Amino acid sequence: MPSWDHSSEIGLSPSAGSRKCLRLEAEGLPVIQILGDKFPCTLVAQKIDLPEYQGEPDEISIRKCQEAARQVQGPVLVEDTCLCFNALGGLPGPYIKWFLEKLKPEGLHQLLEGFQDKSAYALCTFAFSTGDPNEPVRLFRGRTMGRIVVPRGCRDFGWDPCFQPDGYEQTYAEMPKAEKNTISHRFRALLALQEYFSSLTPGVGDDHPSWGSGEG
């Protein structure tokens, strides 16, 4: 049986005007901060209980989005984050939360002690469903390449202290938030998401087919 947990989900519902309302899970504040007022939807916090699925990142994102849409009975957007070590074939990947809980940033770095390849990438995926189970889930991905290093910087945000993006001397944790938000995996995924929704004509959203489907 899958375990249940709170994940980052965003439910879509029509608003009174031409803008749609995105109900955002409580951890979605950084999403609001990054998108600012450029996103063509109103953002509001919400939580949805979802199973912790197993599988490849895309598969997990799709299944979680489908389940969220079933619960919401309408359009929904789900966020997932992975940290992938190339030397380990992509692990921890979508299981980074459990690795981090047990090993902390120091332990994540030690996982690669026996490997010359310290390269890694951070992956963020937003999965969007129109709410119609017959339509495919659309994926918006953002990836930032980097390497795993001895932890440095603040310890207030997960594995940030041990991930140093390519081209930078600082880890995520050492970067000013404004700078990190211009290069992060989440920012790149949000750009793809923003581009998609911004391409919709004003007022679109009352009928699911107009939102489009498929893979981003």
Of 25, 14, 157, 145, the C-alpha closest to 79 is 25
Give the separation between CA 73 and CA 128, rounded to whole angstroms.
13
Q: Which residues are annotated as a binding site for Mg(2+)?
A: 52, 80
Q: Which residues are annotated as a binding site?
A: 52, 64, 80-81, 157-160, 180, 185-186
Q: Which residues are annotated as a binding site for ITP?
A: 64, 80-81, 157-160, 180, 185-186
Q: Which residues pair with 130 in a beta bridge?
A: none
Kindly list the distances between the CA atom of residue 161 and the CA atoms of 40, 133, 165, 208, in Å, as whole numbers in the listed order. 33, 40, 11, 41
Give the separation between CA 90 and CA 57, rounded to whole angstroms.
10
Of 112, 105, 190, 107, the C-alpha closest to 156 is 105
